[in-house]
Structure 1
């Protein structure tokens, strides 16, 4: 793999890189030769301090602190991967979402990327090179109204913002690409499947089937693994993808039907 794909000498900032798909991306980037800095609210015991910055990216101050640390530790940044995302909103449809819930979903899924881009892209543009990857979601076009209305709306906003940004900075040498995963088998998604299984009186496989049915089915019959999504992110970040910009690449096992 390294013969075909290399990130040797690249300096990368990957947000939310301590678990799930973020951790898989950090590991793969390092394997391919990149110098990687990542962030979360707290550092896991097995994460080297030299490659970690503690920051709350749902706040403007947290984004500013991370940007400053990234410039200090990496100098120039070649690859910026916005992996951070998720939902803390309660179930119950639109009526369960007050202003605080909406603001939290937007700060987590949209504004963290907007603020970091605003801080770090000018240097990429000045050098005339760099790659930004925004991790969106198929829920931008396939929302689940009972539980993910605000999350889906925030990811849709991230996708539109990313497309506009690509049109602005691609002529200046900076590529901007979106990766839209479907269901990924992470620790959090397994916990969700286990909860659904308990509520339905079934086993883990039954809980996973509930999730797949809610999505309208996954033709390949399973979720993606974090490592599979990381493979796509690494390819798009590499020089092998030098003419890919402004695109949204879906990795969902065929969940979204297309003509």
Structure 2
């Protein structure tokens, strides 16, 4: 069986499941069968690919846990050594402890990246958002400007060119969004959050980013198309509840989506669509 075919089917199955609020065993089985039939492969082959993917993820998590535990132990020993050096005024021991701690800090920073980065787009993920911007109650630790970005006609791109092409578009768009010079978070699917210092900066940077993107054409398997995004901006105050801020920004984004779709057409000229 073609591994690339199974991978494409597996990715489509994952995207379909992620889009659902509730997944029962019956729904899960039906999705597997439908997508397997679409690609002309056996459901058992697709299930095996999904299980292998899950095994890899579990293995990575276990390795990450072991590595984290090891680094905590090393940091503890290093701090004990530093304390002893200061108590005994031992400059040699203190320098040795500082060197070890600096090495360990670099390792921890790399570890944090692996925990806080989205695997596909290499943008930040929700864990990063929770750890850096929100308190335990889901409120902003400090004021900022929140922008939500949603790709236009992304479903048409997936349906027409397939999910592999869709993944490439997500990577391309996320790379383009990073040029605004503010933290970019993949919030889910084709939605991104960007954290700006001010509303003026957010409006200026996102407008320039989109205008630049609209001038470019993408190509996949000899099919040319254009892509764009819509955005909504909301200035957040310290201790503002994140879900409420997100809802406000989301409403503004849909207003922007209506406006931009009056200006641009769907990605493929032969398709008439009103889908997001």
> Larger Cα Rg: Structure 1 or Structure 2?
2
Query: What TM-score comes out, normalization by structure 2 length?
Result: 0.27
Q: Which has the larger share of helix? A: 2
